[in-house]
Chains A and B, each alone.
Chain A
Amino acid sequence: NAGVTQTPKFRILKIGQSMTLQCTQDMNHNYMYWYRQDPGMGLKLIYYSVGAGITDKGEVPNGYNVSRSTTEDFPLRLELAAPSQTSVYFCASSPPGHYEQYFGPGTRLTVT
């Protein structure tokens, strides 16, 4: 099993550009999450999904969108990138009723 994979590992965007961060898991987990980690801070929840076709906002959703068309994939879309979105982004997954989350390796995004 590859676990949770994320692409790209690094990306530099110009202000106003858009991009999609990819997240895939091969563990057949229903629950998936997107977090961001700002310097010197813990992770904060952006969006989550409890299954294909079902998504909802977390603590810091502004400027992002998500979709969940399959169990495996949970892409995060940034529209009109802003410097405030410079961060490290983590995707995680979890089976229902289970307390452990499995994290991807993260994507470091810089917006200049």
Chain B
Amino acid sequence: AQTVTQSQPEMSVQEAETVTLSCTYDTSESDYYLFWYKQPPSRQMILVIRQEAYKQQNATENRFSVNFQKAAKSFSLKISDSQLGDAAMYFCAYRRHMNYGGSQGNLIFGKGTKLSVKP
């Protein structure tokens, strides 16, 4: 079974600085998807960024980028120019590729990292 580990329960960053959140995962499959979700106090789950395992190029979405190391099974999130609105819980998630038998596309989540942004 696949597992996702986030080893940093809490992180703090100064406004306008850069912070990196760590995520490792365990799988025997070669094709899959990885995601970072943001959960602000409102509880809404917001997709921040996604990465397809077959793509070597790291995904980027404005101030958010990932460092995807497939061999190391590592998927870290870098937030540049941190803003007060970035304060939230961040979850790393894994999704099996739909081609695998028995895969119905559900997400497997880590426990999350709580990010605080200091003004």
Is the pair B104, A43 in contact by a Cβ cutoff of 8 Å? Answer: no
Contacts of B50 in A (CB 8 A): 99-100
Do most interface residues of chain B lie in helix, strand or loop, or is the interface mixed? Answer: loop
Give B80-119 as 1s and 0s: 1 = Cβ < 8 Å from A's Cβ atoms: 0000000000010101001000001111011110000000
**Docked CA distance A95–B47 (Å):** 16
**Docked CA distance A88–B52 (Å):** 29
Does chain A have a CB within 8 A of B13?
no
Q: Residue on B with the closest CB to A46?
A: B106
CB within 8 Å of B: which A44-87 residues: 44-45, 48, 50, 56, 58
A-B contact count (CB 8 A): 54
- Interface residues on chain B, number (Cβ under 8 Å): 22
Contacts A99-B50, A99-B95 given: A31-B105 contact, CB under 8 Å? yes
Q: Residue on A with the closest CB to B34?
A: A99
Is the pair B111, A97 in contact by a Cβ cutoff of 8 Å? Answer: no
Residue ranges of B at the interface with A (Cβ–Cβ < 8 Å): 4, 9, 33, 42-45, 47, 50, 52, 91, 93, 95, 98, 104-107, 109-112
Residue ranges of A at the interface with B (Cβ–Cβ < 8 Å): 31, 33, 35, 40-45, 48, 50, 56, 58, 88, 90, 92, 94, 96-97, 99-101, 103, 105-106, 108
